[in-house]
Structures are given as structure tokens and as C-alpha cells.
């Protein structure tokens, strides 16, 4: 239900003229895609870890930059970017 | 229990607590049951045969990992079954499916845009506990069994000053495994990478306040009352775009 809540927040913000980008794990993509979100960056991460593993600052930075890039590059609703990197534990 | 057994009926015997636990009961017990572990609550969503296959393959991969220490295969296995577990979620949904959706383009270059952050991770700042249902100092263990109450109640928005150090953050959420965010809040509340991006000039700046709420919440008050107010809060912060993180 967390993802449905954020799907609604994204829709309401965009309707009000505020651009948004969602960062989320792949498991919930079908549910969120069915809400027609504006922009989504999807990570191949384990549930509860959307930005990356704890203390994996490099991955967290990479995911954030992908989201920022999508804010700029997206031209229409339903802009969904799936990042290919698998989840990794920080070493 | 012995009294039930003495009736001798098949039904009484199968409800006897000494009878073998079924695979169905075992896999379901990880989702708000006797073995609650929200990292593995997806097991309840799998048919018995698939749950058995998840566990068989998990042990096989664990056996391989014993010798080479490569945990990547275990992580990939859990990830793949997260995806399988929730693959049918849309078919089960009775509401909140839309044929089309809104889109607002970014109005300024990113380097001139002020970013806001709103997460559904359930973070709050120490000393500012939203005290759900009026309960003081509710622990994670106390919150999890109250999942249905959270889902029926309105959301509470927690204000998190953008420069809040990690050690001042607290988290409580009845819907997901918080082990990772307890270790590092940036897993779902990426304050550190956002501050870094602002310092580097990648973004024009950050709103003074970030926000978090418990995403397990009632949708109707969220849609009609709370999210529209959150728009106003973002506007008051002169935000040009918002990063949203569900968990």
C-alpha cells in the first residue's frame, strides 16, 4: 500500500503543477505502473532498500543521479527507467 | 487440546496443535504471524509449491555460498522472488487503477531547481514522534501487529530538517523490513546524496524541510485532504520538483 500511496502523491503533485520522480524497487512496478505515474526510476533492489544497500553511498548517489536525469529528460507521463545494476551489499 | 482429540473426529485431530504444521501455515507465518519477518512476507503471496521452490533453491544457493562466500547469488534469489511474489498484485487490485495520468515538465534547468524530498519510509526526528493512535514511544515491534489500523487511518506527515544528522533520525513502519534503514537512513531517505548533489551544484538547492510518512495509510484521506496540503507545504518551500521514495 506504500507504493499506492506514493503513486497518489505523485499524481496529485503533478496535477498541481509540481514535477515528481519516484525511486522504487522492481517488485512493486506492476502495481505502480497501473497508476500511470509521471516518472519512475526502478532499481533491481530488495524490498525496503530502494536507493541501495546500507552504506553503499556510491549506489545511492548513482540512483539519485538517474532520478535527477529523468526529471530533465522525461517528456511525457509513464516515463519509466529500469536501472540494470543488481542489489549488492556494501563491502 | 486433549479434550478435542478425545472426540476422535477428523476435524478435531486436524486442529490439534500437536499435528504437523502445514507448509501453507509455515510460509504464511512470516507475514504478520508467529514468525513475522517483513523481508519474507512475500512468501504468503506464493502458492505452496512456489514457496517450497523458493526455499529449496535458497538452501541450494546457501550451500554453494558456504564454500565460496559469494552472497550475490542469495541477494539475487531474494530479489527475483520479491518480483515473483508481487507479480499478480495488479490483477488482485480492486481500485486505484488509472487509464491516464498527469505530467508536469521541469520548468527550469536542474542546476537552478530546488528539490524537495518526500518518502513513505516512516522516518521522524528524535523528539518529534508523531505518536500514532496516541501511543507514546511505540516500538517497531508494537507497530507491526497494528498494520490494519495504520491502513485504516489518515497519514501523519513528519517534518525532517534537511540537515538532520543520521543519528537523530528514527524510523517506525508496520509494512516493511526496516533493518536496512536502521543501519543507514539513506537507503530510503536519501538526505546525504541530496545534500551532496546540492553542494556540487548539480541541483540548484534543497528545500529546508524534507518529509516522511508511513505509506501504509488510508487512501481516501490521503487523496482528498493530506496530499493537497502537502502540495502547499512544498510550494511554501519554493520547491521546483519532488523526489518521492516509497518502500
CA distance B23 to chain A (A): 23
CA distance B204 to chain A (A): 12
Confidence bin at B5 (pLDDT 50/70/90): very low
Residue B105 in this model has a pLDDT that exceeds 90? yes
**pLDDT tens digit sequence for A54-70:** 999 999 999 999 999 99
Give the angle subtended at the CA of A36 by the CAs of B92 and B194, to the nearest 5°. Answer: 110
Record: contact A60-B231, CB cut-off 8 A: no
**pLDDT tens digit sequence for B169-210:** 999 999 999 999 999 999 999 999 999 999 999 999 999 999
Record: contact B79-A50, CB cut-off 8 A: no
Q: Provide the chain A residues 23-42 that lie in CB contact (below 8 A) with chain B.
A: 23-28, 30-38
Provide the grid cell at A31. 502495481
pLDDT of residue B18: 77
Mean pLDDT of A23-43: 98
Mean pLDDT of B95-119: 97
pLDDT of residue B16: 57
Record: contact B104-A45, CB cut-off 8 A: no
Provide the grid cell at A86. 543488481
The residues pairing with B205 across neighbouring beta strands, listed in sequence order, are B114
Record: contact A53-B187, CB cut-off 8 A: yes
Q: Provide the chain B residues 82-121 that lie in CB contact (below 8 A) with chain A.
A: 82-83, 85-87, 89-90, 93, 96-107, 109-110, 113, 118, 120
CA distance B155 to chain A (A): 10
d(CA B215, CA B226): 12
Confidence bin at B6 (pLDDT 50/70/90): very low
Element (H, E) at B228: helix B227-236
Confidence bin at B94 (pLDDT 50/70/90): confident
Residue A60 contacts residue A19 (beta carbons within 8 Å): no
pLDDT of residue A30: 97
List the domain boundaries for chain B.
Answer: 2-91, 110-245
**Residues with Cβ within 8 Å of residue B162, at least 6 apart in sequence:** B117, B191, B194, B195, B206, B207, B208, B209, B210
d(CA B155, CA B219): 9
**Residues with Cβ within 8 Å of residue B52, at least 6 apart in sequence:** B23
Amino acid at each position: 500500500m506504500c507504493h499506492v500511496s506514493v503513486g497518489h502523491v505523485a499524481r496529485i503533485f503533478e496535477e498541481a503543477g509540481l514535477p515528481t520522480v519516484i525511486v522504487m524497487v522492481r517488485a512493486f512496478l506492476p502495481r505502480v505502473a497501473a497508476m500511470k505515474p509521471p516518472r519512475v526510476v526502478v532499481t533491481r533492489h530488495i524490498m525496503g532498500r530502494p536507493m541501495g544497500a546500507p552504506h553503499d553511498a556510491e549506489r545511492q548517489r548513482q540512483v539519485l543521479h538517474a532520478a535527477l536525469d529523468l526529471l530533465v529528460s522525461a517528456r511525457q507521463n509513464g516515463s519509466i527507467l529500469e536501472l540494470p545494476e543488481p542489489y549488492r551489499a556494501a563491502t | 487440546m486433549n479434550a478435542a482429540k478425545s472426540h476422535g473426529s477428523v476435524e478435531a485431530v486436524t486442529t490439534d496443535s500437536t499435528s504437523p504444521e502445514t507448509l501453507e501455515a509455515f510460509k504464511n507465518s512470516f507475514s504478520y504471524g508467529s514468525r513475522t519477518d517483513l523481508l519474507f512476507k512475500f512468501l504468503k503471496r506464493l502458492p505452496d509449491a512456489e514457496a517450497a521452490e523458493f526455499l529449496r533453491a535458497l538452501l541450494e544457493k546457501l550451500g554453494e555460498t558456504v564454500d565460496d562466500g559469494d552472497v550475490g547469488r542469495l541477494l539475487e534469489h531474494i530479489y527475483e522472488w520479491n518480483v515473483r511474489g508481487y507479480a499478480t498484485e495488479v490483477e488482485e487490485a480492486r481500485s486505484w487503477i488509472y487509464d491516464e495520468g498527469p505530467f508536469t515538465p521541469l520548468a527550469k534547468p536542474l542546476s537552478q531547481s530546488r528539490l524537495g524530498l518526500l518518502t513513505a519510509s516512516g522516518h521522524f526526528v528524535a523528539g518529534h514522534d508523531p505518536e500514532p493512535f496516541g501511543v507514546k514511544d511505540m516500538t517497531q515491534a508494537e507497530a507491526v501487529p497494528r498494520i490494519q489500523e495504520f491502513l485504516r487511518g489518515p497519514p501523519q506527515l513528519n517534518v525532517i530538517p534537511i540537515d538532520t544528522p543520521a543519528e537523530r533520525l528514527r524510523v517506525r513502519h508496520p509494512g516493511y523490513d526496516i533493518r536496512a534503514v536502521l543501519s543507514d537512513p539513506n537507503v530510503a531517505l536519501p538526505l546525504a546524496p541530496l545534500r551532496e548533489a546540492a553542494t556540487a551544484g548539480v541541483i540548484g538547492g534543497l528545500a529546508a524541510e524534507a518529509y516522511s510518512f508511513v505509506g501504509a495509510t488510508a487512501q481516501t484521506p490521503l487523496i482528498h485532504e493530506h496530499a493537497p496540503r502537502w502540495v502547499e507545504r512544498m510550494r511554501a518551500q519554493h520547491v521546483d520538483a519532488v523526489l518521492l521514495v516509497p518502500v
